Amino acid sequence: MKRLDWSTLDDAGRRAALARPARRIRRDVVEAVHEILQAVAAEGGAAVTRYAERFDGAPPRRIAITPETVAEARAALAPADVRALRIAAENVRVFHEATRPEDTALVETTPGVRSRLVWRPSRAAGLYVPGGSAPLFSSLLMQAIPAKVAGVPVRVAVTPPSRDGSVHPAMILAANEAGLDALWLLGGAQAIAAMTYGATLADGDIPAVDKLFGPGNAYVAEAKKQASAVPGGLAVDMPAGPSELLVIADRTADPELVAADLLSQAEHDADAQVLLVCDDARTLDAVAEAVAAQLDDLPRADIARASLAEARLIRVRDLAEACAVSNQYGP
C-alpha cells in the first residue's frame, strides 16, 4: 500500500495518487472481449460453450430452482446462515416495494399540452452475479428482487461456477428467495455475450435481454461496454466493477474494522482498488498493521495482495479535506 500526504502533493501528484490501476484498460482485454462477442454473434451457443469450457472450466449449466435443489442447498448451510439470507432478502424486498416509482399526474406545461412520467418494466433483464471462488449471493438478491418488484417478466441470472463446476448453496437459496426459476452457471464475457445475442445451449435457451445489470471483473465490465454499443443493442445499468472502496476515518475509528472493510473489497479482484483517507497518522499506521495481520488468514490472500499493490493510505489535514479527496476520486 502506498502512503501519501495530500498536503505535500502538487496537482499532478494528486491526480497520480487517485489514478485507477492501468491494467484495467489493457488493450488485450478490449481485444479479447471483442473476439468473444463477435464469435457469439456469429455462432451463438456453440461459441458460448467453447469459451465457457475454456474460461469457466465447464460448459454452461442450467440449475432449476426446485423444491429438491432448495432443500439440498438449505441442508448444506448452517441454520443461522439460512435465517440471515432470508432476512436480507426480505429487507431488499420491503425497501424496493416501498420505493417503487409510480406514474405521475398529468402536468399542463403549456395551455393544451399535458405531460407525465410513466413507468413500465423492461421485457427482459440480464443479471450478472459474480461467483466462482467468491460467490456474491447478496448481489443476486439485490438484482433479482428489485427486478421482480418492478414487474420484469423475464429475469436471466448467470453466475460463474466454482472451480469444480458446482454452485455455492447460498446462491441456490438466494435464487429461491428472489423467485427465480433457474440459475445459469456461466461467467465472464461469454455470459454477457449470451445475454446480448441470445444462445441455444445443451441445457436450454438464454434469451437476448433488454438491459444488463451487475458488477464483474475487467472482462465483464468491458463486455457490458461493448454490448451497449451493438447497433440496436441493449442498455446497461452502469460500468460496475472492478470493485472500489474509499474509507474516511479519524482517530476514533477501530483499525481492525477499517482493515476488514478494505480487505473485503481488495479480495474481490486483483484489479480492485481500496483507499483510506485519514487525518490521523497513528490511525493510518494502526490500519496498515491490521491489514497485514488479517491478510495472513485471508482465504483469497493472493488476490488481495495483488489489489493492495494499487491501494492508497492518504493523510489529510481534516475531514473536510477528506471529503474533497473522496469527491475527486468518486469511488
Residues 43-94: tens digit of each pLDDT: 999 999 999 999 999 999 999 999 999 999 999 999 999 999 999 999 999 9
Is pLDDT above 90 for 238?
no
Q: Which one is predicted more confidently, 70 or 22?
A: 70
Q: Which one is predicted more confidently, 244 or 158?
A: 158
Rounded Cα distance between 307 and 265, Å, is 9
Q: 241 falls in which pLDDT band (50, 70, 90)? A: low
Q: 155 falls in which pLDDT band (50, 70, 90)? A: very high
Q: Looking at 107-121, 147-161, 238-252, which range is the least confident one?
A: 238-252
- Residue 129 in grid coordinates: 452475479
Q: Which residues of 175-185 are buried (b: 16+ CB within 10 A; e: fewer)?
A: bbbbebebbbb
Tens-digit pLDDT profile for residues 182-231: 999 999 999 999 999 999 999 999 999 999 999 888 899 999 999 999 98
- Ordered by where they begin, the domains of the chain are 2-21+242-329 (3.40.50.1980), 61-99+120-236 (3.40.50.1980)
Q: Provide the pLDDT for residue 135.
A: 79
Rounded Cα distance between 8 and 61, Å, is 54
Q: 172 falls in which pLDDT band (50, 70, 90)? A: very high
Contact 193, 156 (CB under 8 A): no
